[in-house]
A and B are shown apart, each in its own frame.
Chain A
Amino acid sequence: MSTISTTNFEAGETTNRTDANNKFSAVATATGSINEENVRSEGIDRRTLTTVANGRTEPIVFIDYDDRNNSAATTHAAQTGESSVVLSNVALDMTSSPVTVKAGDLIRIHYTAMLTSINDGAYATFGAAGNNGGSRSSNPADAIGVVFFPTWQLSSGGAFSALTNEANWLSSLTAPAGITINNTTAKSDSIAFCSMEGVLDTNCFPNRQVHGCWNYKHTGADITLYQIQLNMRGPMVYQYTGGNRVFYAPTWNALRYEVTCMDIPASPATNFSIVVGNAQLSLTVMRGDS
């Protein structure tokens, strides 16, 4: 509180120096701690704010991005969804000047990734193309796709870890098994789920870009961001298993994916070679506790 609450002198009142001094002391107190109670609504404009190089950026306290073009495309062989891979040449390294995130700050991670191809020239989400006649001709599409997700490093030189309250998309599985998602501490908000449907040739070419993002208002003690990287795992299947919503890593070319049913991947393969093209990753931290 820095407003002045002194009262007027009344007519006929005997003034004394103590009363007068008190009023000016109140002024001194108030002007020593000017705050929003003293300033008129919309009383501050651009010229009142200090100038900074490259213009003012409040409330942004950090912003950076990295990207890779298609010349940096990576091929990830023998993928089954049981484990994840790191996408190279697209990462944010703040190690030299780590970013401290305070309670109330808004963390915004945005990324894009291009799924270029998978080495299954007969791939279709309802069964291998050309192998779906007869009773299989009306098979429905399954929820198969590739998962992209960001992870961060919260200590210098430490391991990368799952984002706050997100499922641990880095965890390794032994098929058939899955990553359970829930509404509290194992969310899927940060992922981008990319369809593998595409043009069929010697391979299947989705050439599909997805945009994922994760916005999070930080609570609790400060955290320090050292690095952020972009990861990929798949194919995985969204389904309901064991009473949970699960991103499943099935045994490919077995059960509903075996050659007599959907034939994914086309027999005799049991895994996928996945090509990821260009990608972009950005981080913005905005200060505030609104």
Chain B
Amino acid sequence: MAFKWTEGEHRSGNILDADEFNNSFNAFKGEINGGLDRENLPNASISNDELASNAMVKYVVVPNIRAQDTSVLDLEWADTSPGTVTQEYIAISYNTYAGGWKTNSAYNIGVSSAEIFQEGMLHLEFNCWYFLRNHFANGGFQIWCQFQILVDGTPVVTSDRQHQNVGQIHLVADVPISTGSHSVQIRWRITPWPGSGAMDDPVFYYDGGQLTAINRYR
């Protein structure tokens, strides 16, 4: 803690030597060179004009997050002709997904490049839309998807299991954070292959994702 400068004044009639002057001056100099704090600065003296634009927070926004390792895949619908109607999708299939959590390796904060945070709170938001080929009409193929936000590899918020054919994910978490490098990632999972249905059908995709971190300093 800094103190208000209390070195004595040079008195009239004293013989001024270098050390005496240096001591008194350096005490003053030390306060100016990085020692000012609330003991020196008047109450209510700093207004918006004096605050640097990033004085209290740091923002990181990772836009355009979407599913990785996707392929162009066909989905077929039977009609009464009899025949089929086919449509292509960008999605993953059970040919490449065997179950379990999958971390998005392409979009993150602090993994691909270091991101330094300051001690304080970290507000996190993740938002995306998804497509899930959620079931067959006969009800024998009910699946779900789920998302998480990870901070340094630890889940801090988990979505409920989503069962609709399309939908919106919105995850929010506020966590205390220490000074230094940290990583923020998102990961997802869906029901493993249920044992029926074509393995090369499109089954899941997400896009339009944004991962936002707002670090408010202590």
A contact residues vs B (CB 8 Å cutoff): 3-4, 6, 8-13, 15, 20, 23, 27, 30-31, 34, 36-40, 42-45, 47-51, 58-59, 104, 106, 108, 124-127, 132, 134-145, 165, 181, 183, 187-195, 197, 208, 210-217, 238-241, 245, 255-256, 258, 260-262, 286-290
Chain A nearest CB: distance from B162 CB in Å? 9
A125 surroundings in chain B (CB, below 8 A): 134, 165
What is the CA–CA distance of A145 and B52 in the complex, to the nearest angstrom? Answer: 44
A–B Cβ pairs within 8 angstroms, 19 of them: A3-B33, A27-B32, A37-B33, A43-B37, A48-B41, A50-B46, A58-B48, A58-B56, A106-B61, A135-B78, A135-B80, A138-B78, A183-B66, A192-B129, A195-B166, A215-B212, A240-B88, A256-B85, A288-B57
Q: Given known contacts A50-B44, A50-B47, A144-B165, is B18 in contact with A13 (CB within 8 Å)?
A: yes
Contact of B32 among A4, A10, A108, A192 (CB under 8 A): A4
Contact B133 A141 (CB under 8 A): yes
Contact B45 A127 (CB under 8 A): no
Contact A40 B34 (CB under 8 A): yes
Instruction: Find residues 73-92 in chain B having any chain A CB closer than 8 Å to their own CB.
Output: 75-82, 85, 87-90
Specify the main secondary structure of chain B where it touches its partner: mixed
Instruction: Find residues 201-216 in chain B having any chain A CB closer than 8 Å to their own CB.
Output: 201, 205, 207-210, 212, 214
Size of B's binding interface in residues, CB under 8 A: 82
- Of chain A, the residue at the smallest CB distance from B35 is A40
What is the CA–CA distance of A226 and B35 in the complex, to the nearest angstrom? Answer: 44
Contact B88 A126 (CB under 8 A): no
Contact of B78 among A6, A165, A261 (CB under 8 A): A261
Contact A58 B55 (CB under 8 A): yes
Contact B37 A126 (CB under 8 A): no
Chain B nearest CB: distance from A129 CB in Å? 9
Contact of B210 among A210, A215, A288, A290 (CB under 8 A): A215
